[in-house]
């Protein structure tokens, strides 16, 4: 839909008036149409009285009025197009011809009368300028008219000339049609722009999405505002020099990078559009068209800034981004997250999240005074910008029930936000285990509880006691759980997540480790960056595959493998959240990495007392006959906690296929199957004492228990 402009349209109206009069001079004399036969009847096309040709003086006066109006109203969009895109007078007249054809059907009829075609052609434009009567009208432009008729003036439609370079006109040239007779059409967006539309070109809008933020979301913390102000000074210095204003936004806070980009655009009165790197045209011709259309938009509207989202771009796929940045102009911001090769000349802006102290102060402003304890816990666990905190608190105030505090509801909203950041990268585990279910030696149990307490009281120690000011890094908690398979390491991680009311994400090593140099670090960076904002717990199973010892460098692969380990050591040390690593090969881990861990918890093979306790919790509560089992005898065989739980589960499946009763025979059969799975052959002696005729009756859980 064309939006009517509020600016005067006298220039356009006067230009179209002159165009119609000029075309009228080229109309052939009207003659009666020949008789035509259709079926049994003969008929003649009625003769329409020809309109009298305009007088030469009238055409001259119309042209003079048009020229005068362009001088008097330089802000008219038709004049701006000619000036800003560098159109020569004859190029402007040709464009006006195409524009008039798009706006008025009368001009289409006049084109047909003058050239026999319903559309403008370059031959018609030449004829308008070559006409001897027209030469007499504008003696001062006679030299220009002569040049237009010369062969060199074919350059008016050359690809590098403004009409085609800026996509002002389109050429329709059917096969075997000479260029001089090809149809010319004004670009649709340019037509709409001249009559008042202000929207982005549709061909750009398919790739570029507007980034609009509400004032409530765009709030900045004091530290961020100071950083933005310093960055704007540097950007203004860049803008004072010729060429594009190019800056890269660095830092782990993805929401903060977008926030900074929006404020930078707002400071210049620009509307920000974001272009995902995956949508950048890879074909050279398509890329050139995109750049030309964007440059045209900039020259005509001066209202756009571009945010290229390249935070997930690998070194191997950075070429399209670099090609775009080499060609495009205006204010261009690159959401890089980290340094990209080839962008060293761009201004680097390190975007940070609000400090924990600032976030806590904002939470205290938006939460009721009675819930300020939640403010400290929320600020220590989740990294949010000021606007996100305000919106979360507002949503919590409207949705929390009487039995739930606003802070508790805000906590759950923050957890839900974390899932949007991490669910596409790693596997989320729903924690079911609880700390009281762990069966560990007293030392290991105490360490697990210390880990829980350190996460819960981070804000008290770091902020209230002032330790944050005395430390430059190491605010996170990294934990290694070491022990044989099945000794309860993953269960302990679940229990911690349950106790802390946080999500637990397992790192899939097959999706992280890459054979391509540098890709493993990039994959881990994405996970760590998202986790720092979300407050989630990261679980690295079989950590020795990632954090193994650095080897002697024999070739480039060894060197890059060592770089990966070194990067991981540094990233783990700088991570602010809780990261849990498990391994059954503690000796394979790099010693430098072990020194950086806050806790190392050993999970020994369970003794008989621990196995008996594990057996007592192997079946759900309420199973009939569980009290008749001799757990002391069940605990005699050397089994891990994971094996015991597998045996109980497999026996239950065997019982379900029979009569719903777990007998000692089924437990014995499930145990032997578990041993065979481990490559171990069991014997009757191994299960001595398992002859007690106990019967565990399994029954459906009552509906009220499910609720």
Question: For residue 85, is it within any domain?
Answer: yes
CATH of the domain at 331: 3.40.50
- DSSP annotation string for 669-693: HHHHHHHHHTT----GGGGTTTT--
Residues 454, 583 within the same domain: yes
Three-state DSSP state, 2? coil
Name the β-bridge partners of 309: 276, 335
- If you average pLDDT over residues 640-668, what whole number do you get? 87
Range of the domain at 388: 356-422
Q: Give me 430's structure tokens.
A: 């729903």
d(CA 95, CA 580): 67
**Distance separating alpha carbons of residues 477 and 488, to the nearest angstrom:** 20
For the record, the structure tokens of 587 come out as 């000796």
Residue 508 neighbours by CB distance under 10 Å: 12
Q: Domain holding 540: CATH number?
A: 3.40.50.300
Q: Which residue, chain included where needed, has tokens 């085609």?
A: 164
Domain boundary among 199, 231, 253: 199
Pair 554, 470 in one domain: yes
Highest mean pLDDT among 144-148, 332-336, 674-678: 332-336
* One domain for residues 441 and 495: yes
The predicted pLDDT at position 146 comes to: 45
Given 334, 350, 366, the domain boundary residue is: 350
| pLDDT band for position 707 (cuts 50, 70, 90) | very low
Residues 617 and 656 in one domain: yes
Rounded-to-integer distance, Cα 198 and Cα 303, Å: 10
Could you report the per-residue pLDDT of 509-522, keeping only the tens digit for each?
666 766 666 667 77
Residues 220, 165: Cα–Cα separation, whole Å: 42
Residues 180 and 221 in one domain: no
**Residue 37 forms part of a structural domain:** no
Q: What is the pLDDT of residue 523?
A: 76
Q: Which of 315, 350, 385 is the last residue of a domain?
A: 350
- Is the same domain home to 545 and 475? yes
Task: Pinpoint the alpha helices (H) of 517-619.
Answer: 519-534, 556-574, 591-595, 608-616
Question: Rounded to an integer, what distance in angstroms lies between the CA atom of residue 553 and that of residue 657?
Answer: 57
How would you list the strands of the sheet with 304-309, edge to edge?
209-210, 271-276, 304-309, 331-337, 245-250, 347-350
Residues 384 and 314 grouped into a single domain? no
pLDDT digits (tens, 9 = 90+) for 607-631: 999 998 998 888 887 676 666 777 8
| Residue 1 domain-assigned (yes or no) | no
Alpha-carbon gap, residue 313 to 322, rounded angstroms: 11
Task: Answer yes or no: is 4 within a domain.
Answer: no
Q: Alpha-carbon torsion 680, 682, 686, 692, what sign?
A: positive
Q: Is 535 contained in some domain? A: yes
Enter the pTM of the model. 0.78
Statement to judge: residues 435 and 417 lie in one domain: no
Q: List the Cα angle 60/64/66 in 5-degree steps.
A: 115
- Residue 651 pLDDT level (bands cut at 50, 70, 90): confident
| Predicted local distance difference test score (pLDDT) of residue 43 | 39
Q: Tell me: do 21 and 67 sit in the same domain.
A: yes
Q: How far apart are CA 37 and CA 43, in angstroms?
A: 6
- Return the closest-CA partner of residue 583 out of 532, 550, 548: 548
* CB-CB contact of 175 with 188 (8 Å): no
Does 44 fall in a domain? Answer: no
Residue 572 included in any domain: yes
Q: Does residue 683 surpass a pLDDT of 80?
A: no
Query: Under a CB-based contact definition with an 8 Å cutoff, are residues 297 and 200 in contact?
Result: yes
Higher-pLDDT residue of 38 and 473 is 473
Mean pLDDT, the chain, integer = 81
Say yes or no: 243 and 326 in one domain: yes
pLDDT above 90 for 354: yes
Does some domain include residue 111? yes
Say if residue 468 is in the same domain as residue 598.
yes
Dihedral through CA 274, CA 279, CA 280, CA 285, nearest 10? -130
Q: What is the distance between the alpha carbons of residues 306 and 327, in angstroms, rounded to a whole number?
A: 13
**Cβ-based neighbours of 457, under 8 Å, separated by 6 or more:** none
Please tell me the total count of domains within the chain.
Answer: 5
8 A C-beta contact, residue 645 and residue 667: no
Predicted local distance difference test score (pLDDT) of residue 53? 66
User: Computed from CA positions of residues 135, 137, 140, 145, in that sequence, does the dihedral angle turn out positive or negative?
Assistant: negative
Q: Looking at the DSSP assignment, which residues form a beta bridge with residue 337?
A: 250
Kindly state whether residues 536 and 446 are assigned to the same domain: yes
CA dist 87 and 286 (Å) reads 24
What is the full DSSP assignment across 424-463?
A: TTSEEE-----GGG----HHHHHHHHHHHHHHHTHHIIII
Q: C-alpha angle 381/383/389, rounded to 5°?
A: 105
| Paired residues of 349 in beta bridges | 249
Q: How confident is the model at residue 680 (pLDDT cuts 50, 70, 90)?
A: confident
Taking CA atoms, 650 is separated from 146, 197, 643, 657, 692, in Å, by: 97, 70, 10, 11, 19
CB contact at 8 A, 257 and 249: yes
């Amino acid at each position: 839909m064309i939006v009517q402009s509020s600016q005067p349209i006298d220039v356009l109206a006067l230009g179209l008036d002159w165009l119609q009069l000029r075309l009228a001079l080229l109309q052939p004399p009207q003659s009666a149409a020949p008789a035509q036969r259709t079926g049994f009847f003969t008929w003649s096309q009625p003769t329409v009285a020809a309109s009298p040709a305009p007088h030469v003086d009238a055409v001259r006066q119309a042209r003079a009025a048009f020229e005068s109006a362009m001088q008097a109203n330089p802000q008219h969009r038709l004049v701006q197009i000619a000036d800003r895109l560098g159109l020569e007078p004859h190029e402007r007249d040709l464009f006006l011809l195409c524009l008039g054809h798009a706006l008025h059907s009368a001009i289409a009829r006049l084109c047909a009368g003058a050239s026999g075609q319903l559309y403008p052609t370059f031959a018609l434009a030449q004829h308008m300028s070559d006409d001897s009567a027209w030469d007499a009208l504008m003696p001062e432009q006679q030299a220009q008219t002569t040049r237009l008729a010369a062969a060199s003036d074919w350059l008016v439609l050359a690809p590098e000339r403004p009409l085609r370079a800026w996509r002002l006109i389109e050429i329709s040239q059917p096969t075997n049609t000479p260029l001089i007779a090809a149809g010319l059409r004004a670009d649709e967006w340019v037509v709409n722009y001249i009559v008042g539309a202000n929207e982005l070109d549709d061909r750009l809008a398919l790739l570029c999405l507007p980034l609009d933020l509400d004032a409530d979301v765009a709030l900045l913390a004091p530290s961020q505002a100071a950083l933005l102000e310093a960055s704007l000074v540097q950007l203004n210095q860049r803008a004072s020099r010729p060429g594009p204003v190019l800056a890269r936004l660095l830092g782990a806070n993805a929401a903060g990078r977008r926030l900074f980009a929006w404020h930078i655009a707002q400071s210049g009165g620009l509307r920000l559009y974001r272009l995902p790197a995956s949508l950048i045209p890879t074909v050279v011709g398509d890329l050139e068209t995109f750049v030309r259309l964007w440059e045209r938009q900039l020259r005509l509207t001066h209202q756009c800034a571009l945010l290229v989202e390249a935070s997930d771009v690998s070194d191997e796929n950075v070429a399209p981004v670099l090609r775009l940045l080499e060609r495009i102009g205006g204010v261009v911001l690159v959401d890089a997250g980290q340094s990209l090769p080839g962008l060293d000349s761009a201004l680097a802006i390190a975007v940070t999240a609000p400090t924990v102290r600032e976030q806590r102060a904002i939470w205290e402003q938006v939460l009721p005074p009675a819930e300020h304890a939640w403010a400290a816990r929320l600020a220590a666990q989740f990294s949010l910008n000021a606007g996100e905190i305000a919106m979360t608190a507002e949503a919590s105030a409207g949705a929390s029930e009487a039995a739930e505090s606003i802070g508790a509801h805000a906590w759950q909203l923050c957890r839900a936000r974390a899932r949007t950041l991490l669910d596409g990268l790693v596997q989320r585990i729903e924690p079911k285990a609880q700390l009281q279910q762990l069966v560990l030696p007293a030392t290991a149990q105490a360490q697990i509880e210390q880990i829980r307490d350190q996460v819960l009281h981070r804000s008290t120690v770091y902020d209230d006691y002032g330790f944050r000011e005395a430390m430059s890094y190491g605010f996170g908690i990294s934990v290694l759980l070491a022990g044989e398979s099945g000794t309860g390491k993953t269960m302990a991680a679940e229990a911690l997540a349950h106790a802390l009311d946080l999500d637990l994400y397992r790192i899939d090593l097959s999706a992280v480790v890459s054979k391509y140099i540098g890709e493993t670090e990039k994959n881990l960076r994405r996970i760590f960056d998202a986790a720092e904002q979300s407050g989630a717990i990261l679980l690295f199973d079989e950590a020795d595959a990632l954090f193994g010892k650095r080897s002697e460098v024999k070739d480039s692969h060894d060197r890059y493998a060592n770089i990966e380990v070194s990067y991981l050591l540094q990233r783990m040390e700088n991570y602010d959240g809780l990261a849990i690593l498990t391994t059954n090969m503690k000796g394979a881990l790099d010693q430098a990495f072990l020194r950086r861990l806050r806790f190392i918890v050993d999970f020994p093979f369970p003794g008989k007392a621990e196995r008996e306790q594990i057996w007592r919790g192997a079946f759900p509560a309420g199973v009939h006959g569980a009290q008749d089992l001799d757990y002391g005898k069940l605990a005699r065989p050397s089994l891990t906690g994971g094996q015991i739980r597998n045996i109980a589960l497999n026996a239950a499946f065997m019982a379900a296929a029979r009569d719903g009763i777990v007998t000692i025979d089924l437990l014995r059969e499930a145990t032997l199957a578990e041993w065979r799975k481990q490559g171990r052959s069991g014997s009757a002696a191994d299960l001595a004492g398992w002859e007690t005729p106990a019967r565990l009756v399994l029954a459906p859980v009552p509906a009220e228990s499910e609720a």
